[in-house]
Amino acid sequence: MRKRISLEVTHLLLALCYCLCHRTKLTVAAFVVNQTMKPLFPAVILFGDSIVDAGNNNNLKTLLKCNFPPYGKDFINHISTGRFSNGKIPGDFIASTLGVKELVPAYLSRKLADEDLLTGVSFASGSTGYDPITSLVASVISMEDQLKLFGEYKEKLKAVAGKARADSIISGSFYVVCAGSNDLVNTYFPTLFRKLHYDVPSYVHFLASKASDFVQKLYRMGARRIGFIGLPPVGCLPSQMTFSGDIFRECVEAQNEAALLYNSKISAEIKRLAANFKDSKLVYLDVYSILIDIIQRPSAYGFEVSDKGCCGTGEFEASILCNNKSPICSDDTKYIFWDSFHPTEKAYNTIVDKLLQNNLKDLI
């Protein structure tokens, strides 16, 4: 009884802090990191693509890697860990903001220690997607196989922590699911394979159905606090501006419209699932509105360049094309994008801060 009251008081204090923080426009990190109370979540566990891949692709036979300079140039000790950015990525910022730990490691990392399992890992794989073709062509970990790795992780967690504590960690952790961009920009729009069978609305429906299946399977495996990230404005990625051939480097409307259509469908589906999963907190996280505002009003967030990445020309380089022979910009804090696909550490920090300000209250 005493433990339950203590937990209720903790939640009440955090909710109060959130309200005060939000009203005074302070960041979520300002109150969460500095709090002395026990974190709300014992662990942060990540699924998805390169946005939350902390280095799983390092150990795969794929070209889609980034464990070499200049990736990681602003990371701790300037190490290229396999994170697709110049520094930390969203999973790291989520975990540190919530007071869980500073970095979320890749599950397949050869340096992963038993104690890392207790506070969460990333199963994400750069260039994967909900469409099975997406991961197959890129030779990366499919979303379905990420769930299999999660099942393996659960058994390892029991061996390390014991069944009771492991069950508590699994049910109490904060899960983040972030995928879908590669399905549009790598699988659907640039090729004919899927277009022969699907128009845009039907392909979006197919993706939303696959994403819903993933969430339902994750729930059945014990997840009870799930943040589902929608698609960003993929047509505004520097690579997509380049490939469209638009000399004015405008966002590609057809791709953004597809992303919005998907977000509309999957957000409604997440709401439906949340109503059915009475013992859970399942929340749709709208990243589109945040990133499109940053891109359209960069100076309001302290950025100057929104249509090119910092690495190379910034127009098409990513992964092996952004390497130690590539020139880089003089100040990446002025750039929204690090390479032609992925945001900079500063942009990720800004996005995560906004996401948690908007949604943390719905997850506790």
- The predicted model gives 119-132 an average pLDDT of 98
For residue 3, name the pLDDT band (cuts at 50, 70, 90).
very low
pLDDT at 23 over 80: no
User: Which of 191, 180, 195 minimizes the C-alpha distance to 234?
Assistant: 180
Is the per-residue pLDDT at 313 higher than 80? yes
- The residue with tokens 């100076």 is 299
Q: How far apart are CA 340 and CA 237, in angstroms?
A: 6
% of the chain exceeding 90 in pLDDT: 88
Q: What is the mean pLDDT of the chain?
A: 92
pTM reported for the whole predicted model: 0.91
Angle made by CA atoms 114, 117, 119, in degrees to the nearest 5? 125
> Average pLDDT of 160-185?
98
Residue pair 53/122 in contact (Cβ under 8 Å)? The answer is yes
- Residue 38 confidence (pLDDT): 81
Check pLDDT > 50 for residue 15. no
Cβ-proximal residues to 67 (8 Å cutoff; 6+ apart), any chain:
55, 58, 80, 81, 82
* Overall average pLDDT of the 313-320 stretch: 97
- Read off the pLDDT of residues 251-271 as tens digits, 9 standing for 90 and up: 999 999 999 999 999 999 999
- The catalytic site residues sit at 50, 339, 342
